[in-house]
Copies of this chain bind each other. A is one copy, B any other.
Amino acid sequence: MDTEQNAQQQPAPDVVEAIRSRSAWARAACGELARAGRARKDETLLALASALRANGPAILAANAEDVERGKATGTTAALLDRLILDDDRLEGLAVALEDLAALPDPVGVVVRGRSLPNSVRMQQVRVPLGVVGAVYEARPNVTVDIAGIALKSGNAVILRGGSAAERTNTVLVQVLREAVGAQGFDPNLIQGIDDLGRPGVAALMEAHGSVDVLIPRGGRELIQRVVRESRVPVIETGEGNVHLYIDASAPVEMAADIALNAKTHRTSVCNAAETLLLHQDAEAAGREVLRALTRAGVLLHVDAGARAWLPDAADGGPAARTAVDATEEDWGREYLDMEMAVKTVGSLDEAMEHIRRWSTGHTEAIVTNDLANADRFVTEIDAAAVIVNASTRFTDGGELGLGSEVGISTQKMHARGPMGLEELTTTKWILRGDGQIRR
């Protein structure tokens, strides 16, 4: 993450004023978008996709500058990987915008509607939130994803992409603004604030009443800072200390397949499993799971019970790494790497107690053939997603059919789990009468 974003400082008056102006322009730009129907919004999304393709060389050139600078300043390989755009990734962003155009419009959906006893016709209807702020890190794809989702859901966005991707984001925002303008909308629907630097983020967090919601996307420090300091309502995204519990009745092969997929399909993401809980009576499944993980090259942090089930060195295969003893600290770690904590438990209750203690409320999963245990796990575990007999990797907007996502909310207010179009809306109560008064 950008360590620069951690510094606390009071924004200067001109920065506060810049945020005030831009959020006012954003608010004004929303009006026209609110009146536009779905057709104009979808046409604009297609135009944004075309603009990305047409301006590919300029975008990639700007990105090359950022990458060059990143290499020169010793940016980690993982960060560079998130920063880099190429033809394929750019095409992926364009396709994602086209996919958004094909999704239903969340605005105007009638959530509830009925006639009241006095014949007033009541409807609760989805409407845009208004002005959405996003603060993220070195991932230019987020610029395009959030701009597209915001446009489709009728919102204006104010984007802060972090200094590592500043050149790329500047060009992307410019391309998107021009395309929006060419479609007859106010370009201020999409605005960047990277030019304001760190103080811009501080001023954005103070803009209660001007900005309707702030979405931080990135590492723990960035998110915690925004949650702690923002006066604008925040949707917290992110951290996933994801547990996979193998119950006593777990089918052996299913347990191994799911554990391997949950841990190794993609390690750097928040829905990857980080801790494995093995029921002490699930020895066959436990041994098979540990063999599969070891063969795949996962470094296991094991308790004494799990150590007894580790495969023999010869059985581990060429990629095998030596397991290490787990410490208390391992239960709280989000490795985001080819590492996993493993603990044996005596009962479902002990597993759930461990999860309650260490869960970040993202995704928790059980593999079991016991119906009562599955039901208890689903009811009693408090997380955005609870999964029975499937990989934790399914906590994902695309997988759930929500289209591209703004992030995965780990809070309970407003949105929980993958946030798509609907999560960038609020509702309005509309009452239509013919003179009714209250008696």
Contacts and interface: CB of A to CB of B under 8 A. Distances in A.
Contacts of A378: 430
A34 interface: yes
A399 interface: yes
A379 interface: yes
A130 B258 CA distance: 30
Q: Which of A260, A383, A416 is the most central at the interface, judged by chain B CB atoms within 10 Å of its CB?
A: A416
Given A212-B412, A228-B231, A432 B34 contact: no
Interface stretch (A51-59, A93-101, A275-283, A384-392): A384-392
B233 A435 contact: no
B429 A385 contact: yes
A235 B416 CA distance: 16
A188 to B, nearest CB: 17
A120 B385 CA distance: 13
Given A400-B116, A436-B390, A438-B261, A379 B208 contact: no
Q: How many copies does the complex hold?
A: 2
Contact of A265 (B254, B388, B413, B438): B438
A365 to B, nearest CB: 8
B385 A434 contact: no
Nearest to A382: B130
A11 interface: no
A74 interface: no
A430 B233 contact: no
B227 A208 contact: yes
B116 A437 contact: no
A414 interface: yes
A326 interface: no
A388 B432 contact: yes
B399 A438 contact: yes
B428 A390 contact: no
Given A233-B233, A437-B390, A431 B385 contact: yes
A131 to B, nearest CB: 10
Interface string A118-133: 0010101001011000
A394 B436 contact: yes
Given A389-B433, A391-B437, A414 B416 contact: no
27 contacts: A31-B380, A116-B399, A116-B401, A120-B390, A122-B400, A122-B401, A233-B413, A254-B434, A254-B435, A265-B437, A265-B438, A385-B429, A385-B430, A386-B428, A386-B430, A387-B430, A388-B431, A389-B432, A389-B434, A390-B437, A391-B437, A394-B438, A395-B429, A399-B438, A412-B426, A416-B427, A416-B428
